Amino acid sequence: MGGVEPNSPQDCFQTMIKSMLRSLSLVAAFVACFAGAPAHAADIAAGKAKAELCVGCHGENGISQMENIPSLAAQPDLFIQWQLVFFRAGTRKNEQMQPVVEQLTNEDIRNLGAYYASLAPPKPPVDDNSDMSKKGAQAAVGRRCASCHTDSYAGTKAVARVAGQRQEYLLKALHDYKSGVRSGGGMAAMADVAYPLSEEEIEALAHYLAHL
């Protein structure tokens, strides 16, 4: 890779694009990215200051009160960073996020990742439909969701926290993967996972995960 040592999602993204252009293995670049140590220590206080730009939509302390806007609190650092890089590169498209990410430097992205990862996760609402949760739990076992999202569904590295996320946003995300509107990073794990899900499973999964 031309002697470049990839070590942050921002650097990695460029490395991946370059490696794609050179027809080198994208998967190898992706793996190298996650093996690398962070380039610079992230600054949580600077991330908090920058998050003033985000609070109007994503809520105080990263807990969203708005429909179709996800909570960011306690998302894994790398998941936040990758999604911001995807929005900025235009590989993930959203009209509301687009003008925001245009203003972010690589350093902002690093700091925002560290800041949101440091926050307490959202408290799940009281479960108003335990039958639905049971169905969702069964579907999650059958589809092996925890194999990537971890047993607590708190996520790890580039894999999102889904526990306690807003239910209608989980529903939207699963529909977006299934329809191909959202393709996800690198190995397109979620597109492959969501494609065979039935509408009934998607609804049960979103209900179950939102109440964890």
User: What does the binding site for ligand HEC look like in residue numbers (CB under 6 A)?
Assistant: 53-54, 56-58, 68-70, 72, 80, 82-84, 94, 96-97, 100, 112, 140, 143-145, 147-149, 158-160, 162, 165, 170, 172-174, 182, 184-185, 189-190, 193, 205
Nearer to ligand HEC, 2 or 167 (CB): 167
Closest approach of Cβ 11 to ligand HEC, in Å? 18
Residue with smaller CB distance to ligand HEC, 22 or 66: 66
Least Cβ distance, residue 7 to ligand HEC (angstroms): 19
Q: DSSP labels for the chain?
A: -TT----SHHHHHHHHHHHHHTT--HHHHHHHHHHSPPSS---HHHHHHHGGGTHHHH-GGG---STT----TT--HHHHHHHHHHHHHTSS--TTTHHHHTT--HHHHHHHHHHHHTSPPPPPPP-S-HHHHHHHHHHHHHTTTHHHH-TTS--BTTBPP-TT--HHHHHHHHHHHHHTS---STTTHHHHHHTT--HHHHHHHHHHHHT-
Between 147 and 179, CB nearer to ligand HEC: 147
Please say which residue, 2 or 142, places its beta carbon nearer to ligand HEC.
142
